[in-house]
Structure 1
Amino acid sequence: MPAGSPPRSQTSADPVQVLYTAHHGWLLGLLRRRLNCPHGAADLAHDTFVRVLQRPEVVPDLREPRAYLTTIARGLLHDHWRRRSLEQVWLDTLAALPEDMVPSPEETQSLRETLQQLDDMLGRLAPKAREAFVLSQLQGLGYAQIATQLNVSERTVKRYMAQGFELCLTLMD
């Protein structure tokens, strides 16, 4: 067998399986270091390979498989931290409510699901468009204030807001 050739058992193996076998342990270690949570790291490693399975045609041509996996995992980590931040804001809001206004467990679950849907929707926007939309709709800032904060023109803020509203309308259909 020529040097550098894969063992015979791998020549007909599924490329995604080969990628998983070769790099899952490495990816899991990387995510453990970033999250400091073995269970969360395992979940994100799993989710990374689920994303790989959604585009298996890419795998055979990968020159830098770890860079590919890192890029996917980085996006998932970003989503994870954004969700944790949103959840913390939710918990802080609940803690600040007077006792007689605290929602029931059922209402809390419904609100959590709504927040998750909102977060998923906002995740479809580019980062600055998402930030502009949140600053306007959740923090009540005007376009001029948003433009200053994001260091963009008011015209750009209007474009970002149009993207956000268009997405909302699309999802309502």
Structure 2
Amino acid sequence: MQQSTTPLLDTALLLEALHSRTKQAVLLHTYSPVTGERLCIAAAGVHDVRLRRELACTPGAVDRLRRAPLDADAPGLVMLANLAGHDASLRQDLRQIRSVQVALTDSPLPGWILVSVPLRRLPGAPAIPGAEPSVVAAVSVMAPDAMEGDPLVAYGRLMRNAVQAAVETSVVIPHHRFAAAQAA
């Protein structure tokens, strides 16, 4: 009898922890293989007054933060860099992103920057070999662009380490109730 499994990663806790450490808005993006877009599916720290004011004054920025082509900005680029097979030919910028596992671009909101890292599928999570990429999402910090240099590099390192630790310490939980249905 084969058991079904579900990966468990508390993304809300991860986003809140990153927000607590950076004091910036933290976003979780995934992608649609059908449309080729990245989609924002969760956020933490978006209550910042300055951020809310600027979003309200910039028509279309919220929509572009919610949904954009994969090659539009950092969250999409970090996923795109990791979606192609290791033997695939990549543009120079995507090779660099894949190498450092961090992408940095301007945000759709003028005056803000996105620093993004990939979120990988949990070890042991079910997947058909070769059919599902190991990167399933991107985690991004949205910071004012006045923060140049060292703070942004530090955000990239912090996020890369926090996301990696979260994936490594998460578990895949067997669901026994589905095993009987599969056996039938």
Question: Do the structures match in fold with TM over 0.5?
Answer: no
Greater strand proportion: 2
Greater helix proportion: 1
TM class by smaller structure: under 0.3
TM-score (normalised: structure 2): 0.27
TM-score (normalised: structure 1): 0.28
Structure label with greater radius of gyration: 1
Higher relative contact order (CA 8 A, sep 6+): 2
